[in-house]
Chain A
Amino acid sequence: MRSIHNIPISRKLTLIITLISCVALTLNCGFFIIYEFLSFRKASLQQLQTMIETFSINNRATIAFDDPTSAATTFASLKNENNTFAACIYRTNGVIFVTYPEGLPKEGFPPPAFVRTNWFEAGSLVLFEPIHDDVGQKIGSVYLKSNLQSMYSGLYRFMAIALGVVLTVSIAAFALSAKLQGWISQPILDLSKLARAVSLNKDYSLRAVKKADDEVGVLIDSFNEMLSQIQARDDQLKAAKQKAEEVSEELRVSHETLEDYNRTLEIKVEQRTAELAQAMNEAQESKVAAEQATRHKSEFVANMSHELRTPLNAIIGFSQVLLEKMFGPLNEKQTEYTNDILGSGQHLLSLINDILDLSKVEAGKMELEPSLFDLRAIIQGSLVMLKERAANHGITLKADIGEGIGIVNADERKMKQILFNLLSNAVKFTPDRGAVGIRANLVGDDIHIAVWDTGIGIPKSEQQKLFKEFHRVQSSLSATVEGTGLGLTLTRKFVELHGGRIWMESTLGKGSVFTVALPQKKLEAELGTVFITRPGESLLADSSSEHEARVRVLVIEPDARAAAMLTGHLNEAGYSVEVARDHEEGWKKIQARPPRVVVVDVLQTEGAGVSFLDRLKEDPTTKELPVIMVSFLEGGEPGEPLTETERIAKLDPKLLVEKLGGLGLRRQNTPVRILAIDDDPRTIELLAASLGPEGFEVLKATTGEQGLEMAADQRPDLIVLDLLMPGMNGFEVLEKLEQGQLTHDMPIIIFSIKNLSVEEKNRLKGRIAGMAEKGAFNKEAFVSIVERTLKRSQKGII
């Protein structure tokens, strides 16, 4: 069913107007009809009342005279009336006296009433009127009943007219409202249509036309305003959208550009990579070529050196034979010339040696062979070597060695060469009765060794070129001094190999100072061990349990510095050390807890030392105790030439360690067993020959497979492994060892000639305890690596 709400506004308006008109008119007519009805009734009653009163008066006599005929005539007037009547007259006794119309049955009349009364019943009006005589006595009553026909017909007519009016008015109202509603509804409909058009077409530029300034006008204004706003928003939106599209387009374009760029970049990267690869190849090739050239050069130098040495052998040898006067005396001139020949030969030899060294440095073949040694002793030793030459020229040698200069980890041979070169230069270029000295001390983290002289000095113009090959300072003195021109170059190279620096300061005519700075920290890091130990420091700090497992050595040494130095060396070599300051303290310590060896400083025990030794030999408990006598050089005071204390061999800590090893103390318990895995039996023999005397038992395996088997069966304390082997190579052995339950924690030292690539070094990193190169085999260095490794692995040297 269609709801009334959904019909169009125009229809609604028409309907409402029509309905209101009808209802108003109908109500109006209704009121008038009711009013007319009531008026009719009132008029009818009055008319009939008048009529019945007339009858009452007219019949007074008839009743009194009992004349019904006359009485009937009184009702004759009723015949002229429009309405139909029924009437009668009652006597006081209730008997009907006369009726109208005549002859009407008396039973049809109601019982009489003798008071004036009336009522309406069933479309009829009933009246009673008493009849009075002259004295006012009731003598009867009149009854009159009218059917009100005329009243109703009038009423019906009126109602018909009213209905007609209502209908007419309704139609007129409908027609009019249908016409006039447009006045209100049309703008709304227009607006609605427009709204629909706007919403359908999204055309916000449309505007409703305002026709009046009424509420609809306001609505239209608001609507238009709204449209304007929407349009503005829409425009903004469109603009924004357009902008977004533009931006998106730009983005797309830049993305494409970027992709293009990327592609270009990739291509460029590829090109560059290719170029780089090519460049690297070329670099590699030139590196290989350069290496080859360098190798050829050093081979050439080595060969040349060999070829030159052979004739020099004869030159130097025959000169010496002549000077020895084996086959007869020489005259003065002959002696002089022979000396010249010998000197020149020796000069040539040192030249050849220097060239050989230099060529090794330049080929990168010169490597450090670090070991622990006492720098103090080396410095003093180098002075001793020049003592004779200095004495010949009346030159005073001085040494000033500061506190803290002690054990270093460096290349001992090269360090000697550095010091000897500098000192011999200083002596060479110092006139007779001058002074040459050496000063060593710690400056920050560096060890500074300065060699000074009161010599001829070096002009500023020469100072820059000083460290260049074959450069020799031109001076009156230099003409008489022989030299190779290579010494300082080599010295600088050696210093640089140690990560150090060398520089010089000189004043012409006053002298020169050459200073070598060695970085203690850097050497520590690069060489992997303690570089220098100050007296009383870390090397003494061993755990007591470790001490128990070690051979105990008692050192009797009053000089704390020397004691610390010795302790350091001995600890390093795996001994536990106790220090006594003098014989008495030493004796007490021996009595309290006998050591396995006693080391006595001879200098400090002179005189008394003999009795101390006697005391040891006489006592049955100490009779067998091995005693090693050592001597330290006195630290030369400035100005005081080195003393004659060399009559007892100066102490070389390494020698001491070797001697202690030679006592066989280590072999008392189960020897430390070392498994050597190498396919070259000679290498194994070399290892056995080097390690055997040190108290190690060397197990031999000539293949990787055999080595693995022996490692698992024999459980060696250490493995020395070659990398290049037929069959299973060293890398594989290393891996297998790592995987083995019994072998994974065995310390391994790589002993190989192989030049390792970075990748191979990384493979080894963290898996091996040490490395030694076959080509540069040095027994002491190797043994020291082995001992350090064992110490680290806690298996210890017993």
Chain B
Amino acid sequence: MAGKVVLIVDDNAKNVKLVRDVLEFKGYAPLVAETGEAAVALATEHLPALILMDVHLPGISGTEATKMLKANEATKKIPTIALTAMAMKGVRESLLAEGFDGYLSKPVELKELLELVKSHLG
């Protein structure tokens, strides 16, 4: 069966591999973008069911990419989860305020990630 498409946006190859392999194992169809620009292009083209977006990216940031997606009628409904290694106080609130629909801190607990994905995709 063709799983639901999940767009993974991260510039760190190992992290991409980890999330991609786990999602594939769980039967989703991962799609990878290494930059914010690529993420916007891929999301617009494929309209994934969920986006896992790293905040720190070369070029435009994950936040900016998300804003662009949220500004686009076609992509604005796609739930976008922020993944970040920032552990400072208030990060969660500010990310939610910037338009993200959820937040996970790195290092990601696999169980937590899967539960979150499951809760958005069923």
Interface residues of A (CB under 8 A from B): 302, 305-307, 309-318, 320-321, 324, 326-327, 345, 349, 353, 356, 682, 685-686, 689, 775-779
A353 to B96 CA separation, bound complex (whole angstroms): 22
How many interface residues does B have (CB within 8 Å)?
A: 26
A22 to B77 CA separation, bound complex (whole angstroms): 160
B88 within 8 A of partner (CB): yes
- Tell me whether A309 and B90 are in contact in the complex, defined as CB-CB below 8 angstroms, given that A682-B97, A685-B97 are known contacts: no
- Tell me whether A777 and B90 are in contact in the complex, defined as CB-CB below 8 angstroms, given that A314-B18, A685-B97 are known contacts: yes
Chain B 68-99 per-residue mask, 1 if CB under 8 angstroms from chain A, else 0: 00000000000000000111111001101110
Residues of A within 8 A of B85 (CB): 305-307, 309-310, 313
Do the beta carbons of B22 and A349 come within 8 Å of each other?
no
B14 within 8 A of partner (CB): yes
Smallest beta-carbon distance B16→chain A, Å: 10
A587 to B1 CA separation, bound complex (whole angstroms): 56
Do the beta carbons of B88 and A302 come within 8 Å of each other?
yes
Q: Which of A689, A776, A777 has the most CB of B within 10 A?
A: A777
Q: Which of B12, B96, B97 contacts A310 (CB 8 A)?
A: B12
Q: Which of A302, A315, A326, A775 contacts B90 (CB 8 A)?
A: A775
Do the beta carbons of A316 and B107 come within 8 Å of each other?
yes
Known: A686-B93, A775-B89. 8 other contacts (CB 8 A): A311-B14, A312-B107, A326-B25, A349-B107, A686-B97, A689-B97, A778-B90, A779-B93
Q: Which of B17, B25, B93, B107 contacts A309 (CB 8 A)?
A: B107
Residues of A within 8 A of B93 (CB): 686, 777-779
Do the beta carbons of B106 and A309 come within 8 Å of each other?
yes
Chain B 1-27 per-residue mask, 1 if CB under 8 angstroms from chain A, else 0: 000000000001011011101100100
Smallest beta-carbon distance B63→chain A, Å: 11
Residues of A within 8 A of B88 (CB): 302
A313 to B18 CA separation, bound complex (whole angstroms): 9
Residues of B within 8 A of A318 (CB): 14, 18
- Which B-chain residue is minimally distant from A346 (CB atoms)? B107
B60 within 8 A of partner (CB): no
The secondary-structure label for the interface of chain A is: helix
Residues of A within 8 A of B14 (CB): 311, 313-314, 318
A309 to B55 CA separation, bound complex (whole angstroms): 14
Do the beta carbons of A324 and B110 come within 8 Å of each other?
yes
A315 to B17 CA separation, bound complex (whole angstroms): 12
A280 to B107 CA separation, bound complex (whole angstroms): 46
A311 to B88 CA separation, bound complex (whole angstroms): 18
Residues of B within 8 A of A302 (CB): 86, 88
Going nearest first, the 6 A-B pairs with the smallest beta carbon separation are A309-B85, A313-B107, A314-B14, A317-B18, A320-B110, A313-B106
Residues of A within 8 A of B56 (CB): 306
- Tell me whether A353 and B110 are in contact in the complex, defined as CB-CB below 8 angstroms, given that A310-B15, A311-B14, A327-B25 are known contacts: no
- Which A-chain residue is minimally distant from B113 (CB atoms)? A317
Do the beta carbons of B87 and A353 come within 8 Å of each other?
yes
Q: What are 20 A-B pairs at a CB distance below 8 A? A: A305-B87, A306-B85, A306-B86, A309-B107, A310-B85, A311-B14, A312-B106, A313-B12, A313-B106, A317-B19, A317-B22, A317-B107, A317-B108, A317-B110, A320-B109, A321-B21, A326-B25, A345-B107, A776-B89, A776-B90
Q: Which of A317, A327, A777 has the most CB of B within 10 A?
A: A317
Do the beta carbons of B87 and A314 come within 8 Å of each other?
no
A689 to B96 CA separation, bound complex (whole angstroms): 10
Residues of B within 8 A of A775 (CB): 89-90
A309 to B87 CA separation, bound complex (whole angstroms): 9
Do the beta carbons of A356 and B18 come within 8 Å of each other?
no
A778 to B90 CA separation, bound complex (whole angstroms): 7
- Which B-chain residue is minimally distant from A348 (CB atoms)? B107
A551 to B89 CA separation, bound complex (whole angstroms): 34
Residues of A within 8 A of B22 (CB): 317, 321, 326
Do the beta carbons of B15 and A313 come within 8 Å of each other?
yes
Residues of B within 8 A of A326 (CB): 21-22, 25
Residues of B within 8 A of A685 (CB): 97
Q: Which of A313, A776, A778 contacts B108 (CB 8 A)?
A: A313
Residues of A within 8 A of B109 (CB): 316, 320
- Which B-chain residue is minimally distant from A683 (CB atoms)? B97
Residues of A within 8 A of B97 (CB): 682, 685-686, 689
Residues of A within 8 A of B87 (CB): 305-306, 309, 353, 356
Within 8 A of A (CB), among B37-75: 56
- Which B-chain residue is minimally distant from A356 (CB atoms)? B87
Residues of A within 8 A of B90 (CB): 775-778
- Which B-chain residue is minimally distant from A413 (CB atoms)? B89
Residues of B within 8 A of A686 (CB): 93, 97
Residues of B within 8 A of A777 (CB): 90, 93-94
Smallest beta-carbon distance A371→chain B, Å: 14
Chain B 103-121 per-residue mask, 1 if CB under 8 angstroms from chain A, else 0: 0001111100000000000
Do the beta carbons of B110 and A321 come within 8 Å of each other?
yes
Smallest beta-carbon distance B91→chain A, Å: 11
A305 to B91 CA separation, bound complex (whole angstroms): 14
Smallest beta-carbon distance B11→chain A, Å: 10
Residues of A within 8 A of B106 (CB): 309-310, 312-313
